[in-house]
Amino acid sequence: MVLQIVKMMILIVVIFAVCWLPQHVYFVVVSLYPDITHHKSIQHVYLVFYWFAMSNAMYNPIIYCSMNARFVCLHAIANWDI
């Protein structure tokens, strides 16, 4: 049980790092090379990195649901009759 929790937490930290790393690299590159901000498509690059970073919040419930049997999954409550 403890090993499974450790694996889940390591996965959450890795996903966090993968999601936020591009945005941080973008800001480091922009601070080193300010002229890059005048490039025609840099706003699109920033937007992709921003959305990827913000998508991190979406992955945590998926990880919890798939790796923890005690977490209430959406598919368990999706069987309600509407």
* C-alpha atoms less than 13 angstroms from C-alpha of 75 in its C-beta half-sphere: 4
Q: Give a yes or no: residue 36 inside a domain.
A: yes
Q: Give a yes or no: residue 71 inside a domain.
A: yes
Q: Give a yes or no: residue 28 inside a domain.
A: yes
Q: pTM of the entire structure?
A: 0.76
Q: Give a yes or no: residue 82 inside a domain.
A: no
pLDDT at 80: 58
d(CA 51, CA 57): 11
More confident residue, 5 or 20: 20
d(CA 28, CA 74): 39
Paired tokens of 18: 């993968």
pLDDT at 74: 58
Range of the domain at 32: 2-77
Please write the tens of the pLDDT for every residue from 11-64: 999 999 999 999 999 999 999 999 999 999 999 999 999 999 999 999 988 888
Split into its structural domains, the chain has a count of: 1
Q: Give a yes or no: residue 66 inside a domain.
A: yes
- Which value, to the nearest 10 degrees, does the dihedral of the CA atoms of residues 36, 41, 46, 47 take? 170
